[in-house]
Structures are given as C-alpha cells and as structure tokens.
Amino acid sequence: MPSSLSHSIRLALCMALVFLQLSGTSGSLLNCHKMCICASNIVSCSKMNLTTIPTALPKYTAVLDLSYNDITRLRAEWTTYKLPQLHNLLLSHNGLHFISSEAFIYVKQLRYLDLSSNNLRQLDEVIFEPLEHLEVLLLYNNHISQIDRTAFSGLNSLQKLYLSQNKVSRFPLELVKDKSRLDNLILLDVSSNQIKVLPTQELQTLPAWIKNGLYFHNNPLLCDCELYSLLAHWYIRKLNSAQDFRDDYTCVMPGQEKKVERVFELNNHMNCSSFKEANEEAYLEQTLTLPCDTKHRNMSKTWVLPGNVVVSPGSNQTAKVLKDGSLQISPIREEDSGNYTCYAISESFNETLYIKVTVHNFTLNGNGETLNTAYTTLVGCLASVVLVLIYLYLTPCRCFCCPGHSKSKSHHEDSIHSSMLSATPTHEDLATKAELNRHVAFIDPKDLQGQNGKVNPNGDEDLDEEALQGKDQRKKSVAESISSVFSDTPIVV
C-alpha cells in the first residue's frame, strides 16, 4: 500500500514536471543558445516571449535583460539563491502587474532597476527595502495610482526616481522633505501624473540641489500665484526642472471653464505680482548667515565681500565661511551692506550666486521695534485664543449632540498650542523671520472648492476611478496638507 502511494506521488510529480516543460518557456532552465544571449556576465533575453524568468542563472550574472517579454508576475522565487553580482535588472515592457514583497531579497546589490512600461497599479509598503544600493529606479509609464508612504523606504542610495506617466495624485513630499527624505535623491520625476495640489511652501524651502531635479510638469495643477512665484523663482535660479520644461508647466484656472494656462503666463491671467529675488536685510550687530544654495552638491565654495574682498579662513574678518559653505557675518555693521558673491566650483560644474545685503542703521535691541513686534505677537496670540474659545464654547452645537466634535476640538487645541510655541521666536531670529520669511498661511477657499470632485480637467476618462477611490484619496490629501500647514509653518503675526 505505502509503496504504491509513493509510486503514484512520484508519477504525479513526474507528470507535473513534464507539464511544466511543455507549457511554453515557463520555469525553464537558462539556455544560452536559444533563449538568451550570454556574454560573459551579461544575460540578455529580450524579446523572447518568455512568460517566466529562466532558472539556473549563473551566480556571476551582472546584467539581466528581460525586457519585452510576457513576464506578468515577479514572484519571490524567481531566483532561489543569491545573485551577488547582479547590478542591472531590466524588466520593462512585460505587462508586469505583480511584484512579490520578497522579490528582491536575493539581489541586494542591484544598482539599476527598470520596471518601466508595465502594468503596475500600486506600490506596496517597503517592497524595495532590500535594495539599499539601488541608484536608479525606473517606474514610468505604468498605471500607478497608489504609493504607500513607505514604498521607497530603505532605498538609501537612490539618486534617481522616475514616476512620470502614471496616475499619481498625491505629491510624494516624504521623499524630499527634511527628516524622511532619501538622502541621495537628486532627481524625482512626477511629471505627467494627476497631481492637482502641490505643497508649494514646503517645496520652496528645499535646497536648490533637490529642486533642480524635481520635475512636476504636465499635471492638472490648480493655477494660483504661489505656483507662479515658485516656478518663476526656480526659473530665475536656472534650475533644470523649470528651465528645461518651461512650456510644459501648465495649470487649470479656477472657475467653470477649466481653462488650461501656462504657469509662466499666470502673471498676465491672474495678476500675480512679478517675482523678484528678495534682498537680505539685517540690523546692526546682528548675526547674518547667507546661504550658498547651489544647484549641485559637494561644491567648494568661496565668498567675495562687497568691494571684491575674498573671505579667507584665519583672517580676522567679521565674515567667515561655515562648514556647509554659507557665510556668517557677526556682528554685522552698516558698511557690510552691498553685493556678496558666492563662487561654487566642482569637477564638472561652476556656479556663481549673488546676494544683495542691506544693513539698517539701527539695532533691533533697545529699539522700540523689538517691543513692538513682541507686543503684536502677544496681541495676536491672545486674539486667536479668544477666537478659539468663542468657537469652542459659543457655537450652538455642543459635544454631546454631534459625534466627532470632541475630535475637532482637540485638534484645534493642538494647533493653537503649536502656533503659540512658534510665535515666540528668539530675538536673534526675529529680524530675519519678520522681515524675510513673513508668510501667513491662508487656505484659499477656491482651492478647496476645486477639489470636491466636481472638477475634472482631464475630461471623463478617469471618472470611474475617481468614483472608486479618487475622492477619498483627495480628501485625505487635502486634510494632510492643511494639517501640515498648521504644524510646520511658523505663524508670524
């Protein structure tokens, strides 16, 4: 009895094997004559109608080209052993719609991964996590609409991420923003997607070497003057993203007609004030730090003071160059007014930045001004506290009658808390903050209106999808952008 059982199992296995062999090329061993071209450490199986990845790949494979096949799933077991030399994996044009969360555990040395022109719809959490050496990731021309916030975490070497021509509707700010950002990312392409709202203020504060490679043209962005001044600034700074695609930055005008305009012409259509590079202003005896915000990283920077004086280390100039290349002048004197120049050089690029500094002929300390600003801040704070109290306690609807009210109450308390904290600047920052970075966050009711799902600048082609998930998502992203305005923007009254 047992022997016949094992016999039939063996038979079944055998038949399964035969079946596998017969069913096209699936699971087949690498054949370097018919199926692929093997040139030392390169294995090229492009355009071979493969439905699975050949097995028994040599361990020394460095480049594996599987583009233009019919591999629709990238399973965990496509390789069952480590391929420690593999640094290029090409899987474009395959109709790929599934990637196992364990697909990359045996190919941790990958530096270049091409998943472009496939059928991917979403990027799940931490799928790329093992790829800590990956430098370039191509995901353009898929159908990606959902990107988990942790989808790209662990990609600590990633330099270039191409996400254009997908259906992304949320700008993935977490990839470039301070704490969570991928440290080596110098190119992020989210052009030709479905992004309607950009976190403009956050983008504006990024260093120029990130903005230089931040492409977001050809999205159904809502027109507003903030968008205009953002791009006008990038253009004046000659950032590649704004210069190279100047005419492809379009936006949708608010209102019924949904007219599409070029962002760089918005000053004509929306009366946006034309953008001017702001001068630095300072007060006597203050410490002023001038950034040398170059388009490229790791440049060696030298500063030239007004009157063509070169700043040199070790001299007893009041100006000195800090580690990050910015210039610190302390204490600043009236005669320090003038044009400052930063020359930045590296092996392949040269850049020159000019900053005009105006020093006012009085100090902030001991002058009425400090008191004044503090006073207005205090009054502003008190006023907002009173307003919130009025809102909380004098509105007809109290906690017990509407569920969810208590939530919004605590939210308000949080935000006022943080605004009180941030509204008490140290007196050193005061001048710069008050004079240069004065920005008060308003949420334009027009913007919110535009996102209620009525607006569909793309026509009706994506109506179903919007009905399925778009609305929820958009609401979520609006809520997020609002709360981030509250928590991150210093409120200067």
Ligand X SMILES: *[C@@H]1O[C@H](CO)[C@@H](O)[C@H](O)[C@H]1NC(C)=O
* Phi (first) and psi of residue 80, to 5 degrees: -105, 5
Nearest approach in angstroms of CB 99 to ligand X is 24
Task: Quote the CA–CA distance of 130 and 117 in Å, as a whole number.
Answer: 23
Tell me which residues in 213-272 interact with ligand X (CB under 6 A).
271
Tell me which residues in 48-87 interact with ligand X (CB under 6 A).
48-49
CB crowding 86-95: b at 16 or more within 10 Å, else e = bbbbbbbbbe
Task: Quote the CA–CA distance of 392 and 397 in Å, as a whole number.
Answer: 9
Q: Which is nearer to ligand X, 127 or 288 (by Cβ)?
A: 288
Task: Quote the CA–CA distance of 489 and 357 in Å, as a whole number.
Answer: 25
Q: Which of 255, 331, 338, 366 binds ligand X (CB under 6 A)?
A: 338
DSSP 109-124: T--EEE--SS---EE-
Q: Which is nearer to ligand X, 226 or 462 (by Cβ)?
A: 226
Q: Is 395 in the site for ligand X (CB under 6 A)?
A: no
- With contacts defined by CB under 6 A, name the span among 165-173, 222-230, 349-357, 417-425 that binds ligand X: 349-357
Nearest approach in angstroms of CB 349 to ligand X is 6
* Total residues at interface with ligand X (CB under 6 A): 15
Q: Is 354 in the site for ligand X (CB under 6 A)?
A: yes
Q: Which is nearer to ligand X, 271 or 426 (by Cβ)?
A: 271
Q: Is 300 in the site for ligand X (CB under 6 A)?
A: no
Q: Which is nearer to ligand X, 183 or 461 (by Cβ)?
A: 183
Nearest approach in angstroms of CB 267 to ligand X is 10
Nearest approach in angstroms of CB 9 to ligand X is 35
The pairing of beta strand 160-162 with beta strand 187-189: parallel
Nearest approach in angstroms of CB 65 to ligand X is 14
CB 221 within 8 A of CB 198: yes
Q: Which of 3, 4, 308, 361 binds ligand X (CB under 6 A)?
A: 361
Which 3 state secondary structure label does DSSP give 260?
strand
Q: Which of 316, 323, 401, 460 binds ligand X (CB under 6 A)?
A: 316
CB 311 within 8 A of CB 320: yes
Nearest approach in angstroms of CB 350 to ligand X is 4
CB 137 within 8 A of CB 160: yes
Q: How far is CA 444 from the centre of its chain?
A: 23
Name all contacts of 487-491 with Cβ < 8 Å and 24+ positions apart: 487/415, 487/418, 488/202, 489/201, 489/439, 489/441, 490/422, 490/423, 490/425, 490/433, 490/437, 491/419, 491/422, 491/423, 491/440, 491/441
Q: Which is nearer to ligand X, 49 or 406 (by Cβ)?
A: 49
Nearest approach in angstroms of CB 284 to ligand X is 8
Tokens 């000195």 -> residue: 320
List, in order, residues 6 or more apart from 130 with CB less than 8 Å away.
Answer: 104, 105, 107, 108, 154
Nearest approach in angstroms of CB 402 to ligand X is 39
Task: Quote the CA–CA distance of 336 and 331 in Å, as a whole number.
Answer: 10
Q: Which of 167, 356, 405, 412 binds ligand X (CB under 6 A)?
A: 356
Nearest approach in angstroms of CB 269 to ligand X is 7
Q: Which of 4, 300, 348, 426 binds ligand X (CB under 6 A)?
A: 348
Tell me which residues in 12-51 interact with ligand X (CB under 6 A).
48-49
Task: Quote the CA–CA distance of 211 and 205 in Å, as a whole number.
Answer: 9
Angle at 61 between CA 57 and CA 63, to 5 degrees: 115
- With contacts defined by CB under 6 A, name the span among 53-61, 132-140, 321-329, 342-350 that binds ligand X: 342-350
DSSP 13-82: HHHHHHHHHHSTTTTPBP-TTTT-EEETTEEE-TTS--SS--BS--TT--EEE--SS---EE-GGG-SS-
Q: Is 358 in the site for ligand X (CB under 6 A)?
A: no
- Cis status of the peptide bond prior to 2, with omega within 30 of 0: no
Q: Which is nearer to ligand X, 3 or 308 (by Cβ)?
A: 308
Q: Which is nearer to ligand X, 76 or 284 (by Cβ)?
A: 284
- With contacts defined by CB under 6 A, name the span among 95-103, 248-256, 337-345, 404-412 that binds ligand X: 337-345
CB 94 within 8 A of CB 53: no
Task: Quote the CA–CA distance of 87 and 43 in Å, as a whole number.
Answer: 12
Q: Is 478 in the site for ligand X (CB under 6 A)?
A: no
Task: Quote the CA–CA distance of 260 and 253 in Å, as a whole number.
Answer: 6
Nearest approach in angstroms of CB 161 to ligand X is 16
Nearest approach in angstroms of CB 52 to ligand X is 15
Nearest approach in angstroms of CB 343 to ligand X is 8
CB 318 within 8 A of CB 327: no
- With contacts defined by CB under 6 A, name the span among 171-179, 194-202, 231-239, 343-351 that binds ligand X: 343-351
Q: Which is nearer to ligand X, 98 or 349 (by Cβ)?
A: 349
Q: Which of 180, 279, 350, 358 binds ligand X (CB under 6 A)?
A: 350
Write out the residues near ligand X by the rule CB under 6 A.
48-49, 271, 297-298, 316, 338-339, 345, 348-350, 354, 356, 361
